[in-house]
Chains A and B, each alone.
Chain A
Amino acid sequence: MDNFNYFYKYKTIYFVFPNEFSKLPKNTNSIVLFKNVDDAKYYPKIQNISKCAVLSNNANDISFWVNKKINYIINPFDFKGKGFDKNIFSLLKQNKILPVIILEKLFVEDKQKQIQIFKHLIAFNKLCKKFRLSLVILSNNMELTYATYSILGYNEKQAERFLSDFDEE
C-alpha cells in the first residue's frame, strides 16, 4: 500500500499535491499539482526535482502558474462559465506547457456541472487546434482515451503522437 495520498495515478506516474510530495519514495515518477497562488511557497523546493503542473479552474491561478516554469496544465475547466482567454494559450505555446485532460476526473456526478465541463472541453479543444497544441488525454482505460480523441476529431495516429509527447517528456 502507498502511504501517501495522490490525486491520480497513470502507469507509474503519481499526480500529487505539494504537501504530499515529501512523502513519496525517492525516484518516484511524479507530477506535482499546484492549485493556487498560495502553493507558490512549495514551488522553489520542487521545481528542479519533479515535473510540475497547474490544476485549477480559476483563471487568476492559471495565469499565475503558466508564467512559471511548469510542464502541464491539467483539466483547466472553469465552472463559472468564464472561458479561457487567448493570451493564456499563447503562453502555453511559448512556455511549452502541455494541456492534459485526465478523463476519470472529467466525469462528475453533478449533472449541471458536467454539462459545463463538456462545453469547456469542446471550447478548449478548439483553441488547442487553433494554436496547434497537442492535447494529451489520459485515462487508465485506453479504449475510452481513443474514443474521446475520436469524438474530439482526432484520428488514431494523432492520438498516438499526442500521447507520446507526454510519455517522452
Chain B
Amino acid sequence: MKNKTKVLPKSQRESKRYFLLDCKDEELRRLKDCYSNLFGLLKLAESNFTIKDEKSKIVKINREFENELIFAINYCNKNNNTKIKIIKKSGTLDSLE
C-alpha cells in the first residue's frame, strides 16, 4: 500500500482529519445526528466529531473514524435528502482554508 504510516511526514501524521464539505448550514447538524444514529453516542464521543463552525462547513474527526464519516454522509444524503459533498480533506486545518 502506498500510505505506510511510518514514511508520512509529521504534519500528515497528526491524528485529526479535517473535511471541507459542500452543503447547507443546517445539514451539518443532520450529518452529526446521522453519525450518532448509525454508530452510537459512544463512538461519536470517541471519534471527536466536531463541526468547526457552520459557516465554514468544516468538520473535524479523529483520523481512524474517517470511514465512518464517509459512510454517514452517504446515509444522510439518502435519509434526509441532503446533498452533502466532500470538497477536500486534509490532516491540517491550514491547508483547507
Q: Which residues of A contact B (CB under 8 A)?
A: 103, 107-109, 111, 114, 118, 141, 143-144, 146-148, 150-151, 156-157
Q: Considering only CB atoms, which chain A residue lies closest to B75 in the complex?
A: A107
A157 to B2 Cα, complex, angstroms: 11
Q: Considering only CB atoms, which chain B residue lies closest to A110 in the complex?
A: B79
Set of chain B residues within 8 Å of A141, measured between Cβ atoms:
74
Interface size on B, residues (CB 8 A): 13
Set of chain A residues within 8 Å of B77, measured between Cβ atoms:
107
Binding site secondary structure of chain A:
helix
Q: C-beta contact mask, B1-27 vs A, less than 8 Å → 1, else 0?
A: 100000000000000000000000000
Q: Are A118 and B1 in contact (CB under 8 A)?
A: no
Q: Are A146 and B74 in contact (CB under 8 A)?
A: no
Set of chain B residues within 8 Å of A150, measured between Cβ atoms:
67
**Interface presence of B41 (CB below 8 A):** no
Within 8 A of A (CB), among B54-97: 66-68, 70-71, 74-75, 77-79, 86
Q: Considering only CB atoms, which chain A residue lies closest to B77 in the complex?
A: A107
Q: Which of A108, A151, A157 contacts B71 (CB 8 A)?
A: A151
A24 to B22 Cα, complex, angstroms: 38
Set of chain A residues within 8 Å of B51, measured between Cβ atoms:
none
Q: Are B78 and A147 in contact (CB under 8 A)?
A: no
Set of chain A residues within 8 Å of B75, measured between Cβ atoms:
107, 114
Q: Are B70 and A147 in contact (CB under 8 A)?
A: yes
* Chain B: minimal CB distance from A102 (Å): 13
Set of chain A residues within 8 Å of B1, measured between Cβ atoms:
156-157
CB-CB nearest 5 A-B residue pairs? A107-B78, A147-B67, A147-B70, A150-B67, A147-B71
A151 to B38 Cα, complex, angstroms: 11
Q: Are A118 and B78 in contact (CB under 8 A)?
A: no
21 contacts between A and B (CB under 8 A): A103-B74, A107-B75, A107-B79, A108-B78, A109-B79, A111-B79, A114-B79, A118-B38, A141-B74, A143-B86, A144-B70, A144-B71, A144-B74, A147-B68, A147-B71, A148-B67, A148-B71, A150-B67, A151-B67, A151-B71, A156-B1
* Chain A: minimal CB distance from B47 (Å): 12
